[in-house]
C-alpha cells in the first residue's frame, strides 16, 4: 500500500494559496488534518481529497452531498 503525502509547499501550489494561509489554518484548526513528523508537516493525499469533497458547494449556503446534490 502506497500512501502519498504532500508537504506544505506542494499543497499551497495545488490550491494556489500561500503557505502562510496553511500555517494559519493549522493553528486555527481549519483545513485538512496533517502529520507532524520530526518537525515536518505533511498532508496525506486521501485527507486532502476528503477535505476538498467536503468543501464542495452548489451555492454559498448549500453543500453538495457526496454522490449527488444537497
Q: Judge contact between 54 and 47, C-beta under 8 A.
A: no
d(CA 66, CA 53): 7
pLDDT in tens, 5-31: 999 999 999 999 999 999 999 999 999
Specify the higher pLDDT residue, 1 or 42.
42
Question: How many CA atoms lie less than 13 Å away from 42 in the CB half-sphere?
Answer: 13
Question: What cell does 54 get?
Answer: 467536503
pLDDT of the residue at 65: 74
pLDDT of the residue at 38: 94
Radius of gyration of the chain (CA): 13
pLDDT band for position 59 (cuts 50, 70, 90): confident
d(CA 7, CA 25): 15
Which phi and psi angles does 49 have, rounded to 5°?
A: -65, -40
Percentage of residues of the chain with pLDDT beyond 90: 76
Amino acid at each position: 500500500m502506497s500512501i502519498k503525502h504532500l508537504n506544505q509547499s506542494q499543497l499551497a501550489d495545488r490550491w494556489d494559496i500561500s503557505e502562510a494561509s496553511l500555517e494559519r489554518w493549522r493553528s486555527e484548526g481549519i483545513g485538512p488534518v496533517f502529520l507532524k513528523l520530526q518537525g515536518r508537516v505533511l498532508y496525506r493525499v486521501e485527507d486532502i481529497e476528503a477535505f476538498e469533497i467536503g468543501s464542495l458547494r452548489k451555492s454559498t449556503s448549500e453543500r453538495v452531498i457526496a454522490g449527488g446534490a444537497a
